[in-house]
Amino acid sequence: MIDRFVVGRSDFVAVRASQVIGEARQNSDPTFLRRLSTNELSRSQELLVTGLSQLWTKYTDSSIILDAHAIIDGDSQAFEVPRSVFVKLAPKVIIHIFDAPERIFQRRLNDRGRNRPIRSIQELRAQQGRSLELAEEHAKAVDCPFRQVSAGDDAGFCRAITQFSLNQ
């Protein structure tokens, strides 16, 4: 959805948190974060902050849309990205993208390209709920607008971004 939004636009750049962290760690495997210890996940968040600040200097004429998660679903446990990281990132808006746990479960079953932890629909429902809570809390902590958009709702995502952009 984010990638589709930025196609043909020079005013927005899409960046994945895992990609920024992977480049800093010199690791091109997009799923490596799931295997890290809690300490290493915390260290990775600092690498994200540093990497994103470097991107801000590179893309001075564009807004950066950071595709990131409030919860990283690790192999052994879920890691909640600390509020302090969001404060350092200083987002101008937080958009929480959600989907039905049943759809997430099915997508994970069908995704042969990535090795993900097996979670029940109930566990995914709980993670989605917690992710929403964290996103709202982080938005309050950095005093920025919060929007929630359903996965696949490109028009809703576009409205959320452009509403924010037009109000700045």
Which pLDDT score is estimated for 111?
80
Regions of the chain short of the pLDDT cut 70: 165-168
Cβ atoms of 13 and 161 within 8 Å: the answer is no
Q: What is the pLDDT of residues 86-101, one digit of tens each?
A: 999 999 999 999 999 9
CA–CA dist 10, 141 (Å, integer): 30
CA–CA dist 116, 126 (Å, integer): 17
| pTM (two decimals) | 0.88
| Distant-in-sequence contacts of 54-60, Cβ < 8 A, 24+ apart | 55/13, 55/15, 55/20, 59/13
Which pLDDT score is estimated for 149?
96
> Domain 2-163 classified CATH 3.40.50.1260?
no
Which pLDDT score is estimated for 165?
59
Cβ atoms of 74 and 117 within 8 Å: the answer is yes
The tokens describing 51, both together, are: 């990497």
Report helix angle 38-58 to 17-25, nearest 10. 100
Q: Where are the domains of the chain?
A: 2-163
Bridge partners of 15, per DSSP, are 66
CA–CA dist 89, 92 (Å, integer): 9
Which pLDDT score is estimated for 150?
95
